């Protein structure tokens, strides 16, 4: 995909996306009966060009990173898609991709240009970004700044509007502040992200309550984080059943029932599929599983009209796990591994009603 110009229209910045592989206008391309969306933190995919913003481990000028290792990382993504799935997902949401060059090589050379649309909004002061590959037409892309945690600029949230043969799907791709520095100490950074996300949900559903809208990505905390912390401090994600102060309304509240997703007073309540599956998690730290990779869904996926929530799963194939059955993270020294996160897969289906 050619890089496109970005036109500043105020806050947020709106990016108009073009596509070189699309053959049909939106209204002539039927939306799929099933729609699959995969989200995966691919753990630091850096290209083989030294730009000065890389982590030391992935800087070609350091001598420890090179073209061979870069392509090996990309081939691991292709291997996961081919071995773990019956077919490539319609939309692929990635976290921790360095730049447009890395994304373009992944799509064009490794995936044989499978995806018609590729999106990554580069930030000069950030080493890794969220990215999107899609065969669903893209109408527009926006980014929403999430502020700072101390002196550290937090990653923006990317909002993508897809065209499902006339029906609009909005996906917000997230990568929130990690817990590096301590869970409690870094919580403020994730709360900043939650405030931006919930404000955006309020705006979108106020304009169209029936809009198909979901948030996805690496949120770096569990859907029941508040409970897991022993309720000792405010968290960015809070189960809606918890009794918490009204002034915490900018946290994102999580429901176990899709039809209960709502803007409830000043709170935004979204559904988490984690409540409905038995998987231990998508990420492990110090031999403890965590459920920090998410899809959060609005109630429009549960109204028996158009696209409906069908299923959610963690891709936990044996080849993605190490000898201890935890995610096999990439190791540049051994040149082994995939990612420290497991992919998560969401399926939507057209309602019969």
In this structure, is residue 5 part of a structural domain?
A: no
Report residue 344: phi and psi, to 5°: -125, 145
In this structure, is residue 274 part of a structural domain?
A: yes
Which residues partner with 213 through β-bridges? 170
Dihedral angle of Cα 32, 38, 39, 40, to the nearest 10 degrees: -150
Contact 115, 91 (CB under 8 A): no
Q: How much is the pLDDT for 18?
A: 39
In this structure, are strands 252-255 and 267-271 parallel, antiparallel, or unpaired? parallel
Closest CA to 74 of 113, 110, 48, 20: 110
Q: Please, how many CA atoms are within 13 Å of residue 37, restricted to the half-sphere of its CB?
A: 28
Give the predicted TM-score (pTM) of the model.
0.92
Q: How much is the pLDDT for 352?
A: 64
Q: Which domain holds residue 303?
A: 12-22+32-350
Q: How much is the pLDDT for 265?
A: 86
Closest CA to 86 of 315, 244, 256, 311: 315
H or E segment at 97?
A: strand 91-97
CA 226 to chain centre: 21
How many angstroms separate the Cα of 15 from the Cα of each of 3, 9, 156, 216, 311? 10, 9, 14, 20, 31
Q: How much is the pLDDT for 27?
A: 44
In this structure, is residue 231 part of a structural domain?
A: yes
In this structure, is residue 6 part of a structural domain?
A: no
In this structure, is residue 2 part of a structural domain?
A: no
Closest CA to 299 of 235, 227, 204: 204
CATH code of 90's domain: 3.60.10.10
In this structure, is residue 200 part of a structural domain?
A: yes
Report residue 246: phi and psi, to 5°: -60, -30
Q: How many structural domains is the chain composed of?
A: 1
Per the structure block, which two tokens stand in for 292?
């920090």
In this structure, is residue 146 part of a structural domain?
A: yes
H or E segment at 83?
A: helix 67-84
Q: How much is the pLDDT for 24?
A: 35
| DSSP secondary structure code for residue 77 in this structure | H
Per-residue pLDDT of the chain (353 residues; tens, 9 = 90+): 333 333 222 234 444 443 433 433 344 455 689 999 999 999 999 999 999 999 999 999 988 999 999 999 999 999 999 999 999 999 999 999 999 999 999 999 999 999 999 999 999 999 999 999 999 999 999 999 999 999 999 999 999 999 998 899 999 999 999 999 999 999 999 999 999 999 999 999 999 999 999 999 999 999 999 999 999 999 999 999 999 999 999 999 999 999 999 998 889 999 999 999 999 999 999 999 999 999 999 999 999 999 999 999 999 999 999 999 999 999 999 999 999 999 999 999 998 64
In this structure, is residue 7 part of a structural domain?
A: no
């Amino acid at each position: 995909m050619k890089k496109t110009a970005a036109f500043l229209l105020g806050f947020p910045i709106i990016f108009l996306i073009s596509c070189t592989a699309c053959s049909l206008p939106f209204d002539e391309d039927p939306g799929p009966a099933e729609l699959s969306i995969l989200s995966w933190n691919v753990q630091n995919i850096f290209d083989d060009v030294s730009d000065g913003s890389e982590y030391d481990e992935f800087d070609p000028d350091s001598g420890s990173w090179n073209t061979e290792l870069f392509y090996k990382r990309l081939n691991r993504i292709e291997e996961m898609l081919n071995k773990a799935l019956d077919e490539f997902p319609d939309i692929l949401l990635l976290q921790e991709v360095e730049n447009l060059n890395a994304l373009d090589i992944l799509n064009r050379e490794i995936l044989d240009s499978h995806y018609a649309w590729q999106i990554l909004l580069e930030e000069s002061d950030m080493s890794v970004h969220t990215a999107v590959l899609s065969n669903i037409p893209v109408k527009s892309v926006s980014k929403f700044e999430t502020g700072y945690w101390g002196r550290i600029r937090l990653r923006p949230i990317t909002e993508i509007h897809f065209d499902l043969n006339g029906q609009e799907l909005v996906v917000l791709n997230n990568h929130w502040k990690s817990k590096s520095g301590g869970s409690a100490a870094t919580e403020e950074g994730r709360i900043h992200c939650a405030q931006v996300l919930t404000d955006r949900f309020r705006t979108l559903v106020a304009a169209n309550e029936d809009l198909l809208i979901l948030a996805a990505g690496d949120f770096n905390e569990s859907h029941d984080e508040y409970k897991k912390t022993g309720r000792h401090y405010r968290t960015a994600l809070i189960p809606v059943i918890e009794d918490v102060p009204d002034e915490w309304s900018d946290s994102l509240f999580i429901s176990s029932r899709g039809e209960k997703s709502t803007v409830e007073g000043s709170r935004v309540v979204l559904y988490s599929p984690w409540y409905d599956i038995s998987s231990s998690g998508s990420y492990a730290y110090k031999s403890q599983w965590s459920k920090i990779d998410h899809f959060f869904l609005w109630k429009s996926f549960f109204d028996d009209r158009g696209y409906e929530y069908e299923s959610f799963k963690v891709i936990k194939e044996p080849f993605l796990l190490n000898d201890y059955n935890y995610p096999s993270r990439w190791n540049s020294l051994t040149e082994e591994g995939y990612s420290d996160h497991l992919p998560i897969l969401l399926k939507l289906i057209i309602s019969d009603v």
